[in-house]
Structure 1
Amino acid sequence: MRRTDLRRTAVAAVAAASLTLLVGACAADKPAAHAPAAGAPAKPEEAAAKALSAAELEKAALAEGDLSTHMVKNGTKADEVPDGAVKTDKAECKPLGDAMAAIPMGKPAAHVLRKAVEKPAKMKVDPNASAEEKAKAGIAAMTQPVTADRLASYEGKGAQEAFAALSKAGQACGGGFTGDQAGEKVKITKVLADTVTGGDEAQGWTLTMDGDGTEVVMKLAAVREGSTLATFYTISLGGTVKAQPAGVIDAQVKKLG
């Protein structure tokens, strides 16, 4: 994503308007689980699940009022990035690139998008404040973290396969990659695995991007709950996202459960 897109994303989110997500990324996977000890019972295989309908996903998705810490808005057509729009220099990195662009993994039966904007500590500006103070408050508001919450529901084992694809891409692309969207290139310079909990499977990543010499730190998380995969991509015009949006993730997974 180019710097103008980063600025447009944060400003639009704070204004509760369109959020454009046009960035790809790659990450390191967390260590694989140890094999069960000899004689230990194997973990029962999950039964194939039935996908949620579009109406059921809409009901399960976050809504304004669900979080006291965030404003929540529905995604719009302008927020949707078509499949294939994000390219990566390494083909194996494409699943994570798509996740960062909020493109649904694979072939979901239904999907929805929400935008959660963290509320500034002070939502209102003192009417008697100076012009400088009001300007500072406005800038502070625009640097609030913005999270794209994509829900996608799948038939059969589609959700497990989508989550596995993200993990596999993380293993292959931990050293970074170059992405391209409509001719605009982005370079991920560092990726670290994060601890994310919830649902049946969960994983997170911290990604550092070179934004024309400015370090931009972003967060990505994926949580599978049954037949639904939720991905959370968080960015800030301030350049640094300090933590995974745990409150957003927890609230969303709770509604899915």
Structure 2
Amino acid sequence: MKAMVAVISAVVALGLTAGCGVDGSGPRGASRTEKAGARELDAVRAPGPAELRHVELGAHEVPGFQIERAGEGAAGAGTPRTDTEECRPLGDALGSQLRPAPAATVVRTFAKTGEDMDFEGLMGMIRVSEYAGDGAADTLEALRTAAAACADGFRMRTGEGEPQEFEAVRTLSPPGLGDEALAIRLENVAERAPSLITAVRSGRTLAMFFATSLSDPDGVSIPPSLLRAQMAKIRWAAAEASPRSPSAAPEDDEDADPSG
């Protein structure tokens, strides 16, 4: 799929996240000074790429999967364009230009493997982004709204200008993880394999999972073991980042990174 690309053993796979914008207006009824102060606090608290690396899954952390760090531009260059504005968040989700831009993002690719590390068709990408303010919630809501509005499909061009057409966008049952979640399936007119997107928000962190399968397009799903493992690392990282009172802090740090 040219609209969703990630190199896994030289196989074209999937894309990344995005969504619709954050207006930056802050809480309702807040004064201009309060809003400015909240934005400054967000900027201070927002982790950088180095801190967000702690949520990345290890190469063999989830049994049965080969997981690798994705390079810049894994979802292609440029900004995808959709035929209607209401479908834009879906087009954004298949590209690499994030709107709104997160404070930090890490990307991993995965492929299901069998004996002797042979690839078995299922492949995809995980993108974890940390947002300031309501960016994560707004991004997920924009994607949910677009999925409903564009259920009958939409046309788009990738950032490289390649035409793509999806004949349907189906909303699936989301996983019971995080604060809220969304799962959708996009049926590509020209490709035999569908594209799956699952988004899970935990606080200001948004994890996006993308998957496709060339060997089992009808039965493809995003593996629950990957979902659970990734969200567990996000919860662990959030707990580690939370301030602790001196009286509550243990003498010995017994918390361990789930990656070992």
Instruction: Give yes or no for TM over 0.5.
Output: yes
Distance 1:221 1:23, change over 3 A: closer
**Larger RCO, structure (CA 8 Å, separation 6 or more):** 1
Cα separation, 2, equivalents of 1:87 and 1:188: 13
Letter in 1 for 2:48: S
Q: 2:90 pairs with 96, 114, 117, which one?
A: 96
Q: Give CA deviations for 1:180-199 in whole Å, capped at 9, x if unaligned.
A: 11231111112221122211
Question: Does structure 2 retain, via aligned residues, the 8 Å contact 1:177–1:187?
Answer: yes
Shifted more, 183-192 versus 232-241: the winner is 232-241
Shift of 1:75: 0.8
User: How has the CA–CA distance of structure 1 residues 19 and 111 changed in structure 2, closer, same or farther, with 3 Å as cutoff?
Assistant: farther
Q: Is 1:123 aligned to 2:123, yes or no?
A: no
Amino acid at match of 2:71: T
Q: Deviations over 1:198-242 (max 9, x none)?
A: 11110101221112xx53222111000111111111123336152
Q: Which residue of 2 aligns with 1:86?
A: 80
CA change 1:90–1:77 in 2 (3 A) is same
Q: Give the root-mean-square deviation of aligned CA atoms.
A: 2.8
1:187 and 2:165 aligned: yes
Could you say what secondary structure the match of 2:156 adopts?
A: strand
Which residue of structure 1 lines up, in the alignment, with residue 60 of structure 2?
65
Identity across matched positions, percent:
27
CA distance in 2, matches of 1:103, 1:19: 19
Give the corresponding residue for 1:30.
none
Q: Structure 1 residue aligned with 2:215, among 224, 228, 238?
A: 238
Cα distance, 1:244 vs structure 2 = 2.3
Displacement of 1:93 in angstroms is 1.2
| Aligned AA (1:123) | D
Partner of 2:116, secondary structure, is: coil
Q: Judging changes above 3 Å, is the alpha-carbon distance between structure 1 residues 76 and 112 closer, same or farther for their aligned structure 2 residues?
A: same
CA offsets 1:97-135 (integer angstroms, 9 cap, x no match): 222335534121111111011113x226xxxxxxxxxxx
Which whole-Å CA distance do the structure 1 matches of 2:211 and 2:227 have between them?
11
Determine if the alignment matches structure 1 residue 165 to structure 2 residue 142.
yes
- The 3 A distance-change label for structure 1 pair 108 and 146 is same
Distance across 2 between alignment mates of 1:69 and 1:247: 10
1:129 aligned residue: none
Q: 2:182 aligns with which of 199, 203, 207?
A: 203
Q: Which residue of 2 aligns with 1:249?
A: 227
Structure 1: gaps (5+ residues): 27-47, 125-137
SS of residue paired to 1:79: coil
- Answer whether contact 1:145 1:235 (CA < 8 A) is retained: yes
Listed as ranges, the gaps of 5+ residues in structure 2 are 20-40, 236-260
Letter in 2 for 1:247: S
Aligned length: 208
CA contact (8 A) 1:217 1:239 kept: no
- Contact 1:92 1:169 (C-alpha < 8 Å) held by counterparts: yes
Are the counterparts in 2 of residues 18 and 75 from structure 1 also a CA contact under 8 Å? no
Q: Deviations over 1:132-157 (max 9, x none)?
A: xxxxxx7xx3x521121011111111
SS in 1 for 2:133: coil
